[in-house]
Amino acid sequence: MIRNKKKKKLPVRPETVSNLLVLVILSLLISSCQNRPKEVLNRKKMEQLMYDVYIAEAIMDNDYQDFSEPEKKEAYINKVFAQHNVTQAQWDTSLSWYSDKIDLYLRMNDSVKARLKRAQIEIDSRNAKLSLEKAEPDIQIYSASYIPRTYTFKTPGTDSKGFRFQLDSAAISKDIPSNFFSFNLNAIGIPQSGNNNLTSALILEYNDTTIYRYQKIKENRNYGTPISKYIDNDTLKQIYGFVRFESSNGITPNIQLYDIYLGGQ
Q: Where in the chain are the domains?
A: 40-125, 140-263
The tens digit of pLDDT for each residue in 210-260 reads 888 888 898 999 999 999 999 988 999 999 998 988 776 667 778 999 999
Please tell me the pTM assigned to this model.
0.52
* DSSP state for residue 154 in the 8-state scheme: T
The single-letter DSSP state of residue 179 is S
On the question of pLDDT at 129 being above 90, the answer is no
**Could you tell me which residue, 236 or 21, shows the higher pLDDT?**
236
Q: What is the pLDDT of residue 128?
A: 66
* Rounded Cα gap, residues 2 and 4, in angstroms: 7
Cβ–Cβ < 8 Å for 170, 237: no
Judged against a pLDDT cut of 50, whether residue 86 lies above it is answered with yes
Residues 55-75 as b or e (16 or more Cβ within 10 Å = b):
ebeeebeeeeeebeeeeebee
Residue 10 exposed, middle or buried by CB count within 10 Å (0-12, 13-18, 19+): exposed
Of the two residues 105 and 128, the one the predictor is more confident about is 105
> Does 111 or 123 have the greater pLDDT score?
111
Task: State the Cα–Cα distance between residues 223 and 198, nearest whole angstrom.
Answer: 12
Nearest to 112 by CA among 58, 75, 61: 58
Residue whose C-alpha is closest to residue 204's, from 238, 180, 232:
238
What is the share, in percent, of the chain residues with pLDDT greater than 90?
40
Per mean pLDDT, which range of 167-171, 172-176, 246-250 is the poorest?
246-250
The CATH code of domain 140-263 reads 2.60.120
